[in-house]
Every structure is written in structure tokens, then in C-alpha cells.
Chains A and B, each alone.
Chain A
């Protein structure tokens, strides 16, 4: 049952985008997201569409996986569109009871919806082609300058990768404890809200105990291997830029310039 949930939606494939340095992908996604909110005209969106379509094609990830990411934010998109539609002041097109639809409202609603869709599609290109570990590696290395102002970059990155690593373990553990309590007659499906919350206690207590035990064990194991934080620590696979990464940066910068130039049209 719980086994079917997947978090971190990496889609393994052999493509240029997969092989890119995670820092390039992080930077590219950032630029893309910023550009989406600067673009105000049709030509700008055409440029963004071409850029995104190109990336999706290069990534070799089936398009339906990208669309999957849109489903959970459907409601959010609908609400945003409705708010923009009804609450933007301007030239009234249609008036209905206390609600008014203005020309600017229609424009804003369409613009916001397109932006949100593009935002999700664009960022899912990154999450689908980069493993969570690569992402934290990339983040750690890109944020390293912040060390100078006493931000514990390494510790943050390590916490992120441990947290990600533990998600599937805890899901499995939940599944196991749930079954064990069901074998003792526990009921997680019936009853009213209050009763259901009460019925979760036999699941949550052992789950927390086990999470703390695992955390303890992990800390002990790390210390036994002389882990002492980021200082002087080297990597088995250090991130280094190769030719394709520089090309990718060039493409991103060209895109940035184009979207700035055409953004207003």
C-alpha cells in the first residue's frame, strides 16, 4: 500500500541533461523561473516555450511524467486564475451580480496560469533528471562562498541528504508497523475524525521511537568513521565542469538575453 508512494521523482535515462553538472541545472532553473516572471508579452512566452520544449526533448523524459507534476497544483491554479479573473480592477467586460470580469482580469488570469504551468514543467525537468543526492551536492558547492559569513553550508547539505535518504526507510517502517498493529486488530480506516486520530497512536509512537533509534545509530556510525563535519572533507566524485557544462551556461545566458529583449513584446 504505502510502498507505491514515490518521493523524489528521478527518472533514469541517458541524456545530455541528465549528465549536466547539477550546478548548471540549478542555475538554469533559477534563470528560467526569474525570466517567467519578467516576461509580459506573447513573443517572450514563445521564446520561453521553445527553450522549455528544447530542454524536455533533450532530457528524454516522457512528457507524461512532466504533466504528472501538474495534477497536485490543479486546484491552486484554478483558485489563482479565478482570483485574478474577478478581482482585477479595469475596463469591465461582463458584469454579473457583484462579480465583474475586466479586460485586465482576463489577461492576468491567462498570464498567471501559463506562468504556473511553465514553472512546474520547467522545474520538473530539473527534478526528473537529477537525483536528490546530486542536487544537494550541487547546492553545497554553489553555496560554499556563504561559509565566509558563517553559514554552515556543509551541515545543511548533509542534513538534506540524510533527510532524503530516510524518507523511503520511514515509509517502509510505517508500512511494517501498520501491518503489525493491524494483525493485533488495530483499525486505521473506520470511525470518525477523533477516533481515527486516536487510532493513529499505536502507529505514531513506534514510528517516532524507531526514527530516534535510527538517528542515534546513524550518528554513532558516522562518528565511528571519524566524521567531523565539512572541514577538510573530500569527495569521491567531486563536481567539475566539462565542455558540455560551459555550452549549457552559454545557452542559458543566450536565453536570458533573448527573454529580456523580447520579454516586453
Chain B
């Protein structure tokens, strides 16, 4: 039992003319080691929700429990929570500030109270994990390419060794190569370190390929919360709220309509390939 979100509501600018209800009665249970995708249209409350999970935003009402402890309890140490729940914001490269890449990645571990050597070790390890070559370590972060900057920023959070890693649109604005690198890196973190990963995205392809549970947000509410196959069965409803199923799912429906006997519950290209081969070759095998 890792994180429990219990009846959480959040209202922006409460009591003024600009009042917006960003979260509306959210109930979630996030177990250790899960790989979760949160999808939703702009303004659906997904970014607001993840900022609740490490206590950056305090819910207007409701409670959040981390390993059974109420994070709004006066005795609860929010900084400790932020050490254990790492949050990578959208466009994280905008937060780089140090003179060298290495120092920037050390910022998190140093704030955790580690000494220089230990923080350095953590930074070294994290930078290697994200695939930054060693000869770049002592350069200014502002000289890197966009994709590299983003990987450095992610390393800055990984160096804190969080148990839960939350990423807000980590692939926004990257080219396909950069996108795959980041997503593969995240998958590796999940598989090798057993980290709980929460990935916020609006790309169905990314989400379907990597995660094992999808939470769909719409207008501050949880609309669906299930494994990808089940969620994408509702592709018509997803379309109604401005989302969509992965393109292969549509392809499979189209093939089915045209008379090819394929499974339509398919969400990734690999699965689609297998299903089509099976249907085409059919009994010949």
C-alpha cells in the first residue's frame, strides 16, 4: 500500500470570481511498483492531481496517505515526502540553474542532507543512467541540446533515489528519437529499480505501450481507471472528451469491419502484428 488519495477536492482561487474546481472527489489507490499512466485533456486536472501526491498543493478537502500516514498531519515531514516521491515537472529543463551539469544534479541530494562525496556519487550514477556522456559532466547545462537538457533534469530527480517517480508530460516537445529515449529510460527505472512510476501524458501511444494501468481524467474527475485494454474499449467515450485510443486500435476495428477476423482489444503495434499474422495465415500454420 503506497499512496491513497481519499475524497480529494481542490478549488483554485476559492471565493473569487475566478473560482475553478480543478479536482472533484478523487479516490485512488496506488500500489508499490505500479506503472501508471494518467491521461486527460488540457485542464482536466492531471497536473493538479500529481502536485498533490508530493504535497506541493494542499487539497481543499479530503486526505492523502503515504504508507498509511496522513500527509496533512502537522507532524508529517513534507520535505521527507518530497524526497521519496520524486516529481519531474513539464519542461523540467527550465529549472536548471547551476554552472555545471554535475552540480545541478547534486542539488537534490545535497538538499537531502548528503555530504559532497555521497551527493557526487548519486549524481554520477544518475547521469550515467540517463545516458549523458562523462565528458559533458562539467559543462554548462545551457550548452546542451533540448533532449539532453531534459535528461539532465530527470537525472536531478533520479539522484534523490525516490520510491515513486512522477513525470508530467516528459516527452512534450521532443523529437521521436528523444521521446523513445526518455520512455525507455523510465521503463528501465521501473523494471530494474522496482520504482513506482506515474506518467502523465496525452499521447495514447506512449501510455498504451508502457504502462499497466491507465487513469483517465476529465473535468477534474476520474473517468476510467483500469488496464489499457479495458480503458481503450471505451474509445468512443474517450473521443467524446477529446481523447482517443491508440491508432492501432482504430486500425484493428477497421480491419474487423472489412471482414478480417482480428481481435480488436489491441493497444500496441507488436500485438497488432501478431493478431494480423494470425488472422491472415489462419489455419495454414
Chain A interface (Cβ < 8 Å from any Cβ of B): 3-4, 176-177, 179-187, 201-202, 205-206, 209-210
Docked-complex contact A180 and B107, CB < 8 angstroms? no
Docked-complex contact B79 and A183, CB < 8 angstroms? no
**A185 touches which of B56, B83, B96, B97 (Cβ 8 Å):** B83
24 contacts between A and B (CB under 8 A): A179-B89, A180-B87, A180-B95, A181-B95, A182-B82, A183-B56, A183-B86, A183-B87, A183-B88, A183-B89, A183-B157, A184-B107, A184-B157, A185-B79, A185-B82, A185-B107, A185-B108, A185-B160, A186-B107, A187-B111, A202-B95, A206-B95, A209-B97, A210-B94
Q: Cβ of B76 < 8 Å from any Cβ of A?
A: no
Docked-complex contact B89 and A187, CB < 8 angstroms? no
Chain B residues with CB under 8 Å of A4's CB are 13
Q: Cβ of B142 < 8 Å from any Cβ of A?
A: yes
Docked-complex contact B95 and A185, CB < 8 angstroms? no
Q: Given A3-B13, A176-B89 in contact, is the A182-B56 Cβ separation under 8 Å?
A: yes
Chain A residues with CB under 8 Å of B79's CB are 185, 187
In angstroms, Cα B79 to Cα A210, docked, is: 27
**Shortest Cβ gap from B103 to chain A (Å):** 11
Docked-complex contact A209 and B142, CB < 8 angstroms? yes
Chain B residues with CB under 8 Å of A205's CB are 97
Chain A residues with CB under 8 Å of B96's CB are 206
Chain B residues with CB under 8 Å of A201's CB are 97
**B92 touches which of A180, A187, A202 (Cβ 8 Å):** A180
In angstroms, Cα B11 to Cα A4, docked, is: 13
Interface magnitude class on chain B: 20 to 34
Chain A residues with CB under 8 Å of B37's CB are none
Q: Which residue of B lies closest to A11 (CB)?
A: B17
Chain A residues with CB under 8 Å of B138's CB are none
Chain A residues with CB under 8 Å of B160's CB are 184-185
Q: Cβ of B9 < 8 Å from any Cβ of A?
A: no
Chain A residues with CB under 8 Å of B142's CB are 209
Chain B interface (Cβ < 8 Å from any Cβ of A): 12-13, 51, 54, 56, 79, 82-83, 86-89, 92, 94-97, 107-108, 111-112, 142, 156-157, 160
Chain A residues with CB under 8 Å of B54's CB are 183
Best-surrounded residue of A176, A184, A202 (most CB of chain B within 10 A): A184
Q: Which residue of A lies closest to B153 (CB)?
A: A180
Docked-complex contact A202 and B97, CB < 8 angstroms? yes
Chain A residues with CB under 8 Å of B108's CB are 184-185
**Shortest Cβ gap from A208 to chain B (Å):** 10
Chain B residues with CB under 8 Å of A3's CB are 12-13
Chain A residues with CB under 8 Å of B94's CB are 176-177, 180, 206, 209-210
Q: Which residue of B lies closest to A173 (CB)?
A: B94
Q: Given A177-B94, A177-B95, A206-B95 in contact, is the A184-B56 Cβ separation under 8 Å?
A: no
**Shortest Cβ gap from A115 to chain B (Å):** 32
Chain B residues with CB under 8 Å of A185's CB are 79, 82-83, 107-108, 111-112, 160
**Shortest Cβ gap from A214 to chain B (Å):** 11
Docked-complex contact B111 and A206, CB < 8 angstroms? no
In angstroms, Cα B82 to Cα A186, docked, is: 10
Chain A residues with CB under 8 Å of B51's CB are 179
**Shortest Cβ gap from A258 to chain B (Å):** 38
Chain B residues with CB under 8 Å of A186's CB are 107, 111
Q: Which residue of A lies closest to B17 (CB)?
A: A12
Known: A183-B86, A201-B97, A206-B97. 17 other contacts (CB 8 A): A177-B94, A177-B95, A179-B51, A180-B94, A183-B54, A183-B87, A183-B89, A184-B82, A184-B111, A184-B160, A185-B79, A185-B108, A185-B160, A186-B107, A205-B97, A206-B95, A209-B142
Chain B residues with CB under 8 Å of A210's CB are 94
Q: Which residue of B lies closest to A202 (CB)?
A: B97
In angstroms, Cα B149 to Cα A209, docked, is: 14
Best-surrounded residue of A3, A176, A185 (most CB of chain B within 10 A): A185
